Structures are given as C-alpha cells and as structure tokens.
Homo-oligomer: A and B are copies of this chain.
Amino acid sequence: MIPLEEIKRISIVSASKIVILVMDGLGGLPELKTGKTELETALTPNLDRLAADGICGLIDPVSPGVTPGSGPGHLALFGYDPFRHLIGRGVLEGIGIGFDLKPSDVAARGNFCTIDKQGLITDRRAGRITTEKNAELCELLTKIQIKGAETFVLPVKEHRFLFVLRGKGLAPQIDDTDPQKTGVKAYLAVATELEAEYTADLINKFIVRAQKTLANQHPANMMLLRGFSMLPQIPSMTDIYKLKPAAIARYPMYKGLARLLGMKVYDVDDGIEEELKILASCYQEHDFFYVHVKDTDSAGEDGDFRRKVSAIERVDAALPRLLDLKPDVIIVTGDHSTPALIKGHSWHPVPALLYSRWCRPDKAKEFSESACALGGLGRLPAVNLMPLALANAFRLTKYGA
C-alpha cells in the first residue's frame, strides 16, 4: 500500500464525487441447503447491475485470517493502515456521543451487566436494559468520587455507557475487565505496562465503589469496562486526500470514527432511505460521502440469515436514489464479514464493488462473494480501496517521474 504521506503529496482537488456505501458485516457464509450466502440469496437487481458495470473483488479489511473490529475495519476502508492507526473502543464510544475527550483522558466502553450472588456474570448486557434506565444508573455512578482523578459516566444506548477518567499521568495500557463470557467474575483492571499501574489503581477504586452503588439495581447490578484508550493522532481525510468528507450514519461509534477523521457527520434516525435523502440534500457541499448501514451486521450478529438478506434487499431497493445523483465513483462493500452462521464478526474477505466510468469492468455480472472472487480487483487489502476511489475520480496525480 502507498503510505498516507505519499498519497498526500499526489492528491489533488477536483469537482468529482465519491460515495462509499458500507453495509456493516456484509460478507457471509452459505446456508447449507442452498449453498448461497446472505448476499447471494438476496434479490439485488440494482447492485448486480452496478457490479456488471463496475469492477469487483474481495477485500481483507485488516489481513487475511484476521477478524476485524469495527474500528480497524472502517479505518482500512478510509485508507488508514489499521496496524498503524489504532483507535480504542473507549475513545470511539466517547467521540460517538460527542463527548469532548481531552488528549490526556483515558476512556473505556462500559456495559451494565448482571451478576449472581457469587459475583458470577449471568448476562453481559443486563437484559439490554432501556436507555432511560441506563441514564438513571449513570447518574448514580457519576456521584462516585475518587481521589486523584475526575470521572465521567455517560449513557449510550441500552446497556452501553462511556467511562472517562481525567487526571494527570494517566495511561491506557490496561486489560479489559469484561471477560467476554458468563459464569465468571468480572476482572479487575490490570495494567499491561508499568506506566499504567497508577491508572489501573484508580479504575479499580472506581469499580469497587460502583459495585456497591449498583448492588440493588437488578438486573443491572454490575458493570464491565473494555477498550481503555486515549485519543490517537490521526491526520484528517481533508489533510491527506483534500476531500470535504461527509458521514451519514446512525450509530455512535461510526459517527465518532468519522468525526475523528474530519468528516462532517449527519445524524440519521432511520434506515438507508433516510440516509440517501440526507445524502441528496448535502450533495453539493461535499465531495466524499460515507453512508453506513448497520442492519446487515445486527442481523448477522443475531444469527438471523433471513433478516440479513432483507437488510441487503432494502439497501438494493433504495439504491436508485443514490444512482440518480450520478457520483463519479461508487464503492459498495462492508467493514468486515458477519456471517449469520457464525453470529459474529469473522475473518472472511468482504465483497467489494467499485463503479466508475474509468474502472475497466471485469466479467462479474452480479454482486456476490462468488462473483467477487473472480473479479478484476482481485483479492486485495482494504486500504487500497481509497486510493482506487481517488484514482477513478481523477484525484491523484502521477507518482514519480
């Protein structure tokens, strides 16, 4: 891949427009009885036509065999080397709800959970309590004071919250307290590097107090923290690519990531139809548009093959609204695979299609894992999609003499 510094040297401003439509967790696995994946099962006449006119391939968001988190998966799609640019879950969550993180803050993603009398976790999500209940509990936790640092506890959706520690000399090298399974106790915060021991101590003081505070709040009678992190230094997409980028997304994390890369974020309350309406309304103000679809991933996570198929079909049905705008470059792909059969993110490469007038079309006649495997993009690291998009939009000059 070309380093960002080199892309920055050869990127130029242009009137051309690029849209990247990210169906979260798009890649799938075939159902046994049909031998077809979710995308292959879905009726997608519009995506198929776009694939026929465009060029297809399979992308590895991080590296072959590596199951990406949403952060690295998205960073790669935007051309940032996911091994070089790491964003902690806590930081993502914080930026996602618009919390004004300071460079010296340590942030973590919190879950309210349920523990039994022995302290063993019985539900990592406390039965997905309401966001209203969540807000009440955060209000209680906010009252906890620990010496040496300020703490913030802010509700996100359902059982999720943001935890921020603000003070001097903090460091984020701390293992998750969330064991990611039930039947065991929550871990205490453990520093993985010496410089983070003081921070871990502060966090543990908070955890002990929090457990007392929540003791009678069944089912949300405990909390788990993960993704301890600090704000990373990431150059903006405007700095690197000379773009005026927009993000149209519904969920906090994706909005947070987009903001971190310098995108202007447009809020959405509903699905792809509303997203594309917003896209049309701000189309003149930007030249790069990131449109995020979450339903595909949620359905995959829930193991609901049919619902994932429907989510894909819903995107396909809405696609003409996007095509009507005639962007110079359209990319449709995902940030990772979430096969319904696996009920979670997976390592499988993700189908990708790139459409432009100049893409040199391949033989792929439909948008599917099978067609993409034989497509002209080949199998390539996801970080290459962004330079390809820019090239097809004539936004890169020649490299070297």
Binding site for B on A (CB under 8 A): 1-3, 6, 10, 29-30, 37, 58, 62-73, 82-83, 86-89, 92, 109, 226-227, 341-342, 345-348, 358, 360-363, 369-370, 373-380, 384, 386-392, 396-401
Contact = CB atoms under 8 A, between A and B. Distances in A.
A401 B362 contact: no
A401 B65 contact: no
B66 A401 contact: no
Contact of A401 (B3, B29, B69): B69
- In order of increasing CB-CB distance, the 3 nearest A-B pairs are A65-B387, A378-B379, A89-B401
Contacts of A58: 376, 378
Contact of A374 (B62, B374, B399): B374
Nearest to A395: B65
Contacts of A374: 363, 374
Contacts of A399: 62, 66-69, 72, 82
Nearest to A373: B376
Nearest to A67: B398
A63 B1 contact: yes
Contacts of A73: 400
* A226, A348, A360, A384 interface centre (most CB from chain B within 10 Å): A360
B379 A373 contact: no
Given A64-B388, A66-B399, A69-B400, A348 B370 contact: no
Please state the number of chain copies in the assembly: 2
Given A92-B401, A109-B401, A387 B66 contact: yes
Nearest to A85: B400
A68 B387 contact: no
B360 A401 contact: no
B400 A65 contact: no
Contacts of A86: 400
Contacts of A389: 65
Contacts of A64: 1, 377, 380, 384, 387-388
A392 B360 CA distance: 31
B378 A66 contact: no
B400 A72 contact: yes
Given A358-B342, A387-B63, A401 B83 contact: no
A227 B69 contact: no
Given A109-B401, A373-B378, A401-B227, A29 B360 contact: yes
A220 to B, nearest CB: 22
Given A69-B398, A87-B401, 10 more contacts: A29-B358, A67-B398, A72-B399, A88-B401, A341-B358, A347-B388, A347-B396, A362-B370, A362-B373, A374-B374
